[in-house]
Amino acid sequence: MLNKLAIGGIKHRLRDYSVLFSGLMIAASIFYMFLSLALNKAFLKSNSPAQATAFIFGFGIVLLAIITIVYINYANKFLLSMRQKEYGMFMMLGAKSSKISKMIFVETFAIGAIATAVGSLIGIGITGFVGDLLIKNMDMQVSHFNSFYLPALLWTFVFFIVIFIFSALRNSISLRFTKVMTLLNMDSQPTKLKRNNAWTIIQSILGVILLAIGYWCMVKMGKDATFIFLGVPVALFTIVAGTYFVINSLTTTIINLLKRNTSFSQKGLNNFTLSQLNFRIADYTKILSMVSIMFALALGAITVGLGFRQQIDTVANGQNYYDASIRNINNKEQNLVDKIDHKKLTVYEFKNTKKFTYYRNSDLESQGFTYNKFSKSMISKEVPTHKSNPSVAFQLQNTIPVDEAAPQAKFVSDAKFDSLSGKPETMTFVKTDSFKNNLSTFKKISEIQAARYPAYKQFGGDKYSVYKNINSFFSGLEFMGFFLGIAFLAMLASCLMFKILSGAAGDVKRYNMLYKIGTRQRSLRQTINKEIAVLFSVPAVLGIVHVLVGLQMFKPLLYKPYMHIEVPFLIFFVLYLGYYFITRYLYKKIVLK
């Protein structure tokens, strides 16, 4: 009978349960996604040039495990809060506490187990989908990537089952030892807020100092790679703790300052919104700090991932000025070149002999020959038109495979060139306004050239071949960055959403009261929008600062870590905004009539 009643209780709160259930499923699927990369040693080895990758992923697992435990803890509290009143009533009517604690154990564990199983399946699906999407759409070359990876699946199960056994035990123990009256009146337990100003100030200062230490570590790691083994744990600790203190103290200080400004606070519902936030931040500090760290990790991963992508272009463009060099251009190649808009062609005639590769001096003087010159970390464009420049002959000869080219290049007059024996050949250099936009054409040209001159297959001196090589090298890193970024973002958003929604039931009364005393629906909606916007933006702002500083760590790996940073930020912003809108929609559904 009691079991029947308990199931009936679930049916009544189906919406709350579906929020809980989907949250747990997302957690399980993200965990699986992460493990499918982190545990796959072959994948890590073949796709990352950095030695420390396995180590960083190890830390990632620890971090994700902690986040997941905290997350499930919240979910569990939500579950208990939904059930305790009902179970309290059963106990009041004479149900034995041992029976009740057994029921909550079974309920917690069953929800956990089902969510884990379904979540893992979804995880396999998402891993495959996201993997395919990234690999196909972004021209990535990734090896040893499996959407189904058994060790990851097993570990996900083990991890979640263990946590849920603990949660179930905790729930059943806490129900057994809580007084019936407390259970029945749990809803009306008041929230208390007492603030100690001195402690707030100490926390603000401590938070800023800890963040400064963490930031210093990240900058230092960027300069000195050996520092990484000490730097990562120190930065991890100080930044997590610093974020906590800053959110707990600084934000409330700002809110209180705004409250004191009566011309702002005593306008419409502003004071209500500020007070709601003040109470929330005290209650939300832990989750906001966690979200802020995850936000930084997710945004950081996507930024670094895209950074690697730009690296591909930068290196390819840096190595070769010309987008293609076509030896003895034929009709097919000519047709391909003709189709390209906005191009500049430079044609050099040459004759290859045993001792020298001869070029026409007139070609050089009339057209010049552009190449990229490296000096430290700068690339500058050089356009010599005179043979006295020592590099020009070398650069020109570089377009001919090594074993075919003569030991030296020479510029000669037209008369001399014509008189030389040897087969006259041409090299057509193509420069467009964007190598990337014409990638498919250059790929075709490169393939035709390799078919006509097999030596080019090995040589790989043209820009497309360089691009292909670097692409396969960096794609792994890029893929990991993107994949992790999306995984963390989904986890982060569901965490925050879950926390906000789980508190919504307690807000119904407040909004109802505001409605009764004559607040327009529009004003109520506005105050909800503002409140949730602040809750979303506090961790976002801190997270962005973490990322901007954290990119310093990648200076040795990325040529320009801050280049085109707006792209990942924009992608992230759009996704994050999506979660914000979903959360406020669901929240309003619960809170407003």
Partner 1 sequence: MTKIVEVKNIEKIYGKANEKQFKALSDVNFEVQPGEFVGIMGASGSGKTTLLNILSTLDTATSGEVKIAGEDITKLKNNEMADFRANKIGFIFQDFNLLENLTAYENIALPLALQNTSPKKIKPAVDSISAKLGLTEILNHYPTELSGGQKQRVAAARALVHNPSIIFGDEPTGALDSKSARALMDTMTKVNKEDNVSILLVTHDPFSASFCDRILFIKDGEIGQELKKEEHSRGEFYQEILDSLGTFAE
Q: Which residues bind partner 1 (CB under 8 A)?
A: 190-193, 262-263, 266-272, 275-276, 278-279, 509-510, 513-523
For 395, the enclosing helix (H) or strand (E) is: helix 390-397
Strand segments (E) across 258-339: 324-327
Looking at residue 356, the DSSP 8-state letter turns out to be: E
DSSP string across 203-237: HHHHHHHHHHHHHHHHHHHHH-GGGHHHHHHHHHH
Q: Least distance from C-beta 531 to partner 1, angstroms?
A: 11
Reading the block at residue 221, the tokens are: 């790691």
Q: Least distance from C-beta 592 to partner 1, angstroms?
A: 12
Closest CB to partner 1 among 12 and 520? 520
Closest CB to partner 1 among 248 and 449? 248
Q: Least distance from C-beta 526 to partner 1, angstroms?
A: 12
* 306 neighbors 568 (Cβ within 8 angstroms): yes
- Interatomic CA distance for residues 3 and 90, integer angstroms: 11
∠ CA 38-63-224, nearest 5°, is 80
- Interatomic CA distance for residues 576 and 488, integer angstroms: 11
Residues ≥6 apart with Cβ < 8 Å to 510: 276
Closest CB to partner 1 among 279 and 573? 279
Q: Least distance from C-beta 264 to partner 1, angstroms?
A: 9
Q: Least distance from C-beta 12 to partner 1, angstroms?
A: 21
For the chain, the C-alpha Rg in angstroms (whole number) is 32
Reading the block at residue 512, the tokens are: 């109802």
Residues ≥6 apart with Cβ < 8 Å to 525: 588, 592
Q: Least distance from C-beta 516 to partner 1, angstroms?
A: 6
Closest CB to partner 1 among 262 and 426? 262
* 457 neighbors 450 (Cβ within 8 angstroms): yes
Q: Least distance from C-beta 112 to partner 1, angstroms?
A: 33
∠ CA 383-389-392, nearest 5°, is 65
Closest CB to partner 1 among 109 and 587? 587
Q: Least distance from C-beta 207 to partner 1, angstroms?
A: 24
Q: Least distance from C-beta 577 to partner 1, angstroms?
A: 27
Closest CB to partner 1 among 267 and 423? 267
- Interatomic CA distance for residues 243 and 227, integer angstroms: 23
Closest CB to partner 1 among 118 and 514? 514
Closest CB to partner 1 among 366 and 512? 512
- Interatomic CA distance for residues 171 and 95, integer angstroms: 17
Runs of H (alpha helix) within 503-565: 504-516, 521-550
- Interatomic CA distance for residues 451 and 333, integer angstroms: 12
Q: Least distance from C-beta 110 to partner 1, angstroms?
A: 35
Closest CB to partner 1 among 172 and 273? 273
Quote the distance between the C-alpha of residue 364 and its chain's center.
48
Looking at residue 417, the DSSP 8-state letter turns out to be: H
Closest CB to partner 1 among 260 and 423? 260
* 124 neighbors 147 (Cβ within 8 angstroms): yes
- Interatomic CA distance for residues 488 and 579, integer angstroms: 13
Residues ≥6 apart with Cβ < 8 Å to 128: 147, 148
Secondary structure of residue 200 in the 3-state scheme: helix
Closest CB to partner 1 among 81 and 174? 81
Q: Least distance from C-beta 517 to partner 1, angstroms?
A: 6
* 142 neighbors 94 (Cβ within 8 angstroms): no
Residue type, 487: A
Q: Least distance from C-beta 256 to partner 1, angstroms?
A: 12
Torsion of CA 41, 46, 48, 51, to 10 degrees: 60
